[in-house]
Amino acid sequence: MSDGLVVCVVDINEKALARLHEVGDHADGRLEWRRASVIDRSEMQAVMDDLAARHGSLDVLVNNAGLTRAGSFLTQTDEDWNLVIDTNLKGAFVCSQVAARHMKSVGGGAIVNIGSVSAHGIRSGPPAYAAAKAGLEGLTRNAAIDLGRDGIRVNLLVLGTIESEWLVERKTEEELRGIRSSTLMGRLGTPEDVASVVSFLVSEDARHVTGQLFSVSGGQWLP
């Protein structure tokens, strides 16, 4: 919002959306939220059509919806595989396709996908999550190639471990120390670290940057 954009948060988690009310009170009308599923094309079409109609254009999309389910290569179920792939990969495709059609109509825009070091074998974890994030990298490059002539730039952030409430609640202090030591910086990433790179990529300063992977991992992954 500090970039002068109106930001709309889309989530299926109503409790998470409810927490935005407090933030919204201090956002001067530049923060909105909708309950919708990123894998439901009709819902995302309705959300983006409404945003474009009310604000004149849809200029930026950040695909950061995601989830994972526990399991190893030998234990992950088909049900969990489908859910993780749908949310992390199909959701980004659906949202990007809907958004890109709006962006093309006004001469361009910027899409940023949120990936993970899990796509590069940096750590063990559920195979569906690693596969989805690896697929997202391929989708990013494909979209950048197809959409470049329409003035639409598409890039991806390869995130390392980000210090979130979800992470802190589920990790012991010993586990957190181990994660910190796995980075070259000796620290966890923060949401602000991610937001600052997103802010650059959607700005005019990055007008000649597309189809790229940016490591925001404290050196957990070195491209």
Contact 92, 63 (CB under 8 A): yes
**Residue-wise burial string across 57-85, b where 16 or more C-beta atoms lie within 10 A, e elsewhere:** ebbbbbbebbebeebeeeebeeebbebbb
Q: Look at residue 117 and tell me whether its pLDDT is greater than 90.
A: yes
Which residues are CB-neighbours of 186 under 8 A, at least 6 positions away? 180, 218
Q: What is the CATH number of domain 54-216?
A: 3.40.50.720
- Across the chain, what does the average pLDDT equal? 94
Q: What is the pLDDT of residues 151-206, one digit of tens each?
A: 999 999 999 999 988 788 888 899 999 999 999 999 999 999 999 999 999 999 99
Q: What is the pLDDT of residues 132-154, one digit of tens each?
A: 999 999 999 999 999 999 999 99
* Positions marked active-site: 129
Q: Where are the domains of the chain?
A: 54-216
CA atoms within 13 A on the CB side of 107: 2
Indicate the Cα dihedral angle 144, 145, 151, 154, nearest 10°: 0
